[in-house]
Amino acid sequence: MTEPDPISGLSTDELAILGDALRALRRERGKAWNAACDIAEAQGKRPPPPQSYGINAIKRLGRRLGVSPTHWMEER
């Protein structure tokens, strides 16, 4: 028996709120990842993978919700 999909019961307004939250989270995580990459480059080290900042997971969740968590440099 499969569990019900919690997303299917969300209203349009709830999806919009989640979309806004994901975009904000994506923006903050992107800024943090970019700063870490700059520091790594300055120290001659390899940059951290985006996975370590959960960026790919945020993008997957956004697709699942049908919202677009924009690139961290993009404003809505």
Residue 69 lies in a domain: yes
Q: How confident is the model at residue 71, as a pLDDT? A: 58
Q: How confident is the model at residue 63, as a pLDDT? A: 85
13-32 per-position pLDDT tens digit = 998 898 889 989 988 998 99
Q: What are the φ and ψ backbone dihedral angles of 5, each rounded to 5 degrees?
A: -80, 115
The total domain count for the chain is: 1
Residue 2 lies in a domain: no
* Domain, as residue range, for 29: 19-76
Which band of pLDDT confidence, cut at 50, 70 and 90, is reported for residue 70?
Answer: low
Residue 32 lies in a domain: yes
Contact yes or no for 64/6 (Cβ under 8 A): no
Q: Cα(37)–Cα(54) distance, rounded to whole angstroms?
A: 15
Contact yes or no for 74/30 (Cβ under 8 A): no
